[in-house]
Copies of this chain bind each other. A is one copy, B any other.
Amino acid sequence: MFKLDERLDKDTFFISDLPLCRVLLMNDNQFPWLILVPRVADVAEIIDLDEAQQQQFLKESGFVSHVLKQKTQCDKLNVAALGNMVKQLHIHHVARFTHDVAWPKPVWGNQPACPYHIEKASVLISTYRESLALFY
C-alpha cells in the first residue's frame, strides 16, 4: 500500500492527487518547486513503474511542467528523479530563473530551504490546485 515517505511529508504541502501521482509543493520559497510522487508502493526508480504507469507518469509530468512554466514564466525547468536522500520514487519539477539564488547550480544541497509564510503557501496551493484540476 502507498504511504508517503515521512521526510517528503514534512518538507512539503499537499496540493492534489492526479490519477497516478500525488502532487506536493516543496516548502521552500526560493523556487517554485512541485514534486510528483507516484502512489505506488515500493518503487524507487522510474523503471520500477510498469509500462502503463510510466505512460501515465509521462503525461502527468508533462502537464505539471506546462502548468509550472505557464504560471512562473521561468527560464528553465529542472525535472529530476534523484532519490539519494529519500528512496521513495519522487520526481522534482523546479522552475528556475537565471536570477535565482542557486543558478546555474542545481537546487539540491546548495542552500538551506526557506519555508513559506503560511498565507503565501495557502495562496500557492489553491492556485496550483485549480490548475491541476484541469488535468485531462
Q: Which residues of A contact B (CB under 8 A)?
A: 44-47, 54-55, 58, 61-62, 65-66, 69, 76-85, 87, 96, 103-106, 108-110
Nearest to A77 among chain B residues (CB) is B45
Q: Can you list 19 A-B pairs, Cβ within 8 angstroms, ordered by A?
A: A45-B65, A46-B61, A46-B65, A46-B79, A47-B62, A47-B66, A54-B58, A55-B58, A76-B82, A78-B80, A78-B83, A78-B84, A79-B81, A80-B82, A84-B105, A84-B106, A85-B104, A106-B106, A106-B108
CB distance from A84 to the nearest CB of B (A): 4
Additional A-B contact list (12), CB under 8 Å, known A76-B84, A84-B103: A45-B65, A46-B61, A46-B62, A47-B65, A54-B62, A55-B55, A78-B80, A80-B80, A80-B82, A84-B104, A105-B108, A105-B109
